[in-house]
Amino acid sequence: MYILGLKYPGHDATAVLLKNNHVVFASAQERFDQRKHSHAFPMEAIKCALDMASINIEQVDIVVFQYNYPLSYRNMVARTFMNYFPLATSSSLANLRYQMAKKAVGERDIRKLGFKGPIYYVDHHASHRASAYFPSPFERAAVLIIDGRGERASTTFSLAEGNRFINLKHVDYPHSLGYLYAAVTSYLGFCPDSDEGKIMGLSSYAEPEYINTFRHIVRLLPEGGFALDMSYFNYHTRVGSYFSKRFLKEFGPPRRPEEPLTSHHKIIAASLQRITEETVLHFVKWLKDKTGADNLCLGGGVALNSVTNGRIMREMGFDGIFVQPAAGDDGSALGAALEIYHRLSGTPRYPLRYFDPYLGKGHSDEEIKKFLDDKRIPYRKYSDIERVTAKILSEGNIVGWFQGRAEFGPRALGNRSILADPRFADMKDKVNRKVKFREDFRPFAPATLEEYVGELFDSIQPSPYMLMVYNVLPVVRDTIPAVTHVDGTARVQSVNESQNKKFYRLITEFKKLTGVPAILNTSFNVKGKPIVNNPEDAFECFWNTEMDYLVMGDFLIAKKEGALKNDPIEKIEICS
């Protein structure tokens, strides 16, 4: 059975293809059209999925969208309209028209592609829930989904066992932790539904001096719930707006994107982050007490908040915590497909030992060589490219690293990465300013050999998807300053050989040279652009930044003229 799961309409349009319950392909449309958080119908992602499976659209049995049209969404709009009448009149009608129009476009385009089978719709939070639990290694787990909103809920609490879920409770929109974070993101001059991770990074630069104000805005309720004081917001009554005059009266005028970040802005970010952590821990405690579960699965956009995830890991006493690498809306396409598969097949669910995130488009060495030859780009090919790259990194160079299949989700996990030596204190600023062209406060992740995680950080728990923040042990902070955040933490990616052999070998070779079992890893893109998807994207990004070398497959490309000719390492093949 082939099932095509789609995230559409809205941001992070995505296509996922299942063959039974095996994931054949998963990628956001943004990788193909190179428009960040693309809203476009994921036609290119769908076509790539079919190519990867060597099938045509007629062989797909089911198409499923991760939104339940039209009844559930209509009910949510009607409820918002009635609760906030007359303020919500225009926004409610605009939301309904938008979603219904996009539903029609989605059905039209998939039919136009030639699909003649049944189309299903799965509730948004049910999709998130399935994507959080079904790829996990647990047979039984508490499941917590937190995002902006689905058809109705912004937060859902469940217990999962086998292949079924027990719904425990939910919190309804407009009371939404996701929208709270988006509102403050907008207030601070960044892009909501995109730049929330920047606010998380900024939060480390101040103390949460406004936490008591935020505790008034966010009221924690008994039995794990919460409520926002909606007088501070207007996202539920005005399209394209987030915060009200009362919010501005409390915190002052909003920051414009071009304005400098002040201590006031950093304090607001810190206070927002702290109230987010307190609220999520409140949810988790209730859910753990209610279910008695030893394991926890997290999903929804708020589950990408790795600082909060790290606190859950340290403080909540679970045996295991699983956060799927595409925990945001792109992952809901995966969840919708898995939900329908298990609902229709009745097949027993077997926990996965490891969820493989390398599910996007891949390129062979033959394809890479053809691109380089066609463009007359000089290169060398090595049989031991990991050793060569480790040496280049240890000399202070910045390297674009393009390997295998692209990662699913927003994090580069060693296949579409920009790499550097974490031992150089100025490397963080160099990569931010000269390569990524982004804000100086943004931190970078240490990709670390899994067996050495406990020697660098205050946890021995693996973090394969870069979704946990740990404290860097004081004794090594001066050793890896480029990946140690201002507050002494790091967003860790653990790497083992079975999960990514080539990346593991690279870090191993780097350790042999330097004694450090970690390298700086960030996504292969620049500010405002998605992660690169093909050799042409990678070369363009490399050439238009101050990266020193590009490694694609086993091929090494140097920017500095003559660098390849003077390379003393034995080479196999050279083209110039």
Q: What is the pLDDT of residues 83-92, one digit of tens each?
A: 655 555 566 5
pLDDT band at residue 566, thresholds of 50, 70 and 90?
Answer: very low
Whether the per-residue pLDDT at 572 is higher than 60: the answer is no
For the segment 297-323, the average pLDDT, to the nearest whole number, is 97
Computed over every residue of the chain, the mean pLDDT equals: 92
For the segment 412-438, the average pLDDT, to the nearest whole number, is 96
CA atoms within 13 A on the CB side of 362: 16
pLDDT band at residue 518, thresholds of 50, 70 and 90?
Answer: very high
pLDDT for the residue numbered 120:
95
Q: Which residue has the higher pLDDT, 16 or 348?
A: 16
- Kindly state the tokens that stand for 539: 């070369």
139-323 against 360-575: fold identical: no
Interval 30-51: pLDDT, tens: 999 999 999 999 999 999 999 9
Q: Which residue has the higher pLDDT, 574 or 477?
A: 477
Q: What is the Cα–Cα distance from 335 to 494, expressed in whole angstroms?
A: 25
For the segment 298-306, the average pLDDT, to the nearest whole number, is 98
Q: What is the Cα–Cα distance from 271 to 533, expressed in whole angstroms?
A: 36
Residue 459, C-beta contacts closer than 8 angstroms, at least 6 positions apart: 310, 313, 314, 453, 468, 470, 492
For the segment 155-174, the average pLDDT, to the nearest whole number, is 96
Helix (H) or strand (E) holding 295: strand 295-299
Whether the per-residue pLDDT at 576 is higher than 80: the answer is no
Residue range 139-323, CATH number: 3.30.420.40
pLDDT for the residue numbered 565:
54
Residues above pLDDT 70, as percent of the chain? 91
Q: What is the Cα–Cα distance from 263 to 252, expressed in whole angstroms?
A: 13
pLDDT band at residue 573, thresholds of 50, 70 and 90?
Answer: very low
At 118 the three-state DSSP class reads coil
Whether the per-residue pLDDT at 574 is higher than 50: the answer is no
Whether the per-residue pLDDT at 182 is higher than 50: the answer is yes
DSSP string over 511-533: HHHHS--EEEEEESS-TTSPPP-
pLDDT band at residue 238, thresholds of 50, 70 and 90?
Answer: confident
Q: What is the Cα–Cα distance from 489 to 487, expressed in whole angstroms?
A: 6
466: left (phi over 0), alpha (psi -120 to 50) or beta: left
The class of domain 2-126+333-355 in CATH terms is alpha beta
How far is CA 29 from each of CA 6, 366, 381, 532, rounded to the nearest angstrom? 10, 25, 31, 12
Which of 71-75, 409-413, 512-516, 523-527 is predicted with the least confidence, judged by mean pLDDT?
71-75
Residue range 360-575, CATH number: 3.90.870.20
Alpha helices in 353-500 (DSSP H): 365-374, 385-394, 427-430, 453-456
Interval 335-367: pLDDT, tens: 999 999 999 998 889 889 899 999 999 999 999
Residue 172, strand partner residues: 153
Q: What is the Cα–Cα distance from 499 to 138, expressed in whole angstroms?
A: 19
pLDDT for the residue numbered 240:
77
Residue 316, C-beta contacts closer than 8 angstroms, at least 6 positions apart: 281, 284, 285, 288, 296
* Helices vs strands, H then E, count in the chain: 18, 24
At 393 the three-state DSSP class reads helix
- Quote the DSSP letter at residue 243: B
Show me where the domains of the chain are located.
2-126+333-355, 139-323, 360-575
Whether the per-residue pLDDT at 396 is higher than 50: the answer is yes
pTM exceeds cut of 0.85: yes
pLDDT for the residue numbered 560:
78
Whether the per-residue pLDDT at 101 is higher than 70: the answer is no
Helix (H) or strand (E) holding 58: none
Contact 432, 418 (CB under 8 A): no
Question: 343 exposed, middle or buried (CB, 10 Å; 0-12, 13-18, 19+)?
Answer: middle
pLDDT for the residue numbered 564:
61
**Nearest to 417, CA basis, from 368, 457, 466, 379:** 466
> How many residues in total does the chain contain?
576
For the segment 517-530, the average pLDDT, to the nearest whole number, is 97
How far is CA 514 from each of CA 236, 246, 390, 517, rounded to the nearest angstrom? 54, 54, 9, 8
pLDDT for the residue numbered 92:
56
Q: What is the Cα–Cα distance from 414 to 405, expressed in whole angstroms?
A: 10
pLDDT for the residue numbered 568:
39
